[in-house]
Homo-oligomer: A and B are copies of this chain.
Amino acid sequence: MPERLGRYTLRLERPAGVLGFAAVAGKKEGEGPLGAAFDRVYPDADLGEASWEKAEARMQGDALRTALDKAGLSPAQLDCVLAGDLLNQCISSTFGLREFGVPFLGQYGACSTMAQALGLAALLVECGAAGRCAAVTSSHFCTAERQFRTPLEYGGQRAPTAQWTVTGAGAALLGPGGAPRVQAVTFGRMRDLGVKDASNMGAAMAPAAAQTLCDFWRDTGTGPQEYDLILTGDLGAVGSALLRDLLRREGLDPGGRLQDCGLWIFDRAAQDVHAGGSGCGCSAAVLCSAVLQGMQAGRWRRVLFCGTGALMSPTSSQQGESIPGIAHAVLLEARGD
């Protein structure tokens, strides 16, 4: 059974480990700094499918299938898959994972979904509700752009604070005996400081990230310096600077340990992505490539993965709502303590 630490954090007693993982990504992501770490890079945006939405769905299926293959597992050896994406009614997960025939629990935490799914999957394994459980998410620049913003053909100018939705997907399989292990989970509360600018998601999400990270450190009686890597999902340049500022006000200075998937996946100087990468697929593709590879290679031992999400829709923004942020933290350790 998980042990509750403080108010919001759960420490796992028999930590679920990573049995397999895979990341797939688009052409632009493949040309970025992490390109060599992805299991597969597609040469175009439609993957030969009839629509970008079908392409995104296929990425989820490809990610899960590759992760299973790498782990030597079949879909029938999974008890549950937790998956989500940014599209209306989470259709990338539905159509990408339909054929696997595994009990399916759709998750929605906007861009925090990978951390949410990973944390829940770890708990289901911890308590024996699932022998093996998968967490899968995706995003796609073209599907997100036309759903949340404008038709691509419109060619609208982007704000300097805007981020570039990652085309990619990641899948992680959890079960007993794998590595690294999920040692602790902190599920976040919504935090809304009134940001209404849908072109500045980093600002909307940073306060939630600060809240969840501070909850985690308070609950565990630790501080940033005890982690080799503290990795937020997709705060980008603007949100990351705000997070550092918010942590500084709490007397915390994580220094170079604090990094962001949205800043890792693209070369901002060369790739014209403004404030950095974003999307459900951003943190998933980075986690399920460079991060887990790096942990297995001994580069980092304790990684605090903090997925960040902006809980809004075009409808809520059009109706004048602000953008609540949310963040979930998952502690990965190369070996159990």
Contacts and interface: CB of A to CB of B under 8 A. Distances in A.
Q: Which of A2, A3, A316 has the most CB of B within 10 A?
A: A316
Given A128-B2, A129-B127, A316 B95 contact: yes
Contact of A187 (B80, B314, B315): B80
Contacts of A313: 87-89, 91
A50 interface: yes
Contact of A104 (B89, B120, B188): B188
Interface stretch (A107-115, A254-262, A290-298): A107-115
Interface string A88-114: 111100110110011111111110000
B97 A190 contact: yes
A183 to B, nearest CB: 14
Contact of A53 (B51, B98, B315): B315
Interface stretch (A40-48, A152-160, A171-179, A318-326): A318-326
Given A88-B89, A91-B313, A315-B88, A108 B110 contact: no
Interface residues of A, number: 58
B189 A104 contact: yes
Contacts of A101: 189-190
Interface string A42-84: 0000000011011000000000000000000000000010001
A8 interface: yes
B103 A188 contact: yes
Nearest to A212: B103
Contacts of A127: 1-2, 123, 126-129
A315 B87 contact: yes
Q: How many chain copies does the complex carry?
A: 2
A333 B187 CA distance: 30
Interface string A128-161: 1101000000000000000100000000000000
A324 B96 CA distance: 12
Contact of A316 (B91, B102, B108, B187): B91
16 contacts: A1-B1, A10-B129, A87-B313, A89-B312, A89-B316, A97-B190, A98-B192, A101-B190, A102-B189, A103-B187, A104-B190, A104-B326, A105-B187, A106-B311, A107-B107, A107-B108
Given A1-B127, A103-B187, 10 more contacts: A1-B128, A4-B128, A88-B315, A91-B315, A94-B324, A106-B108, A106-B311, A107-B108, A123-B129, A147-B315
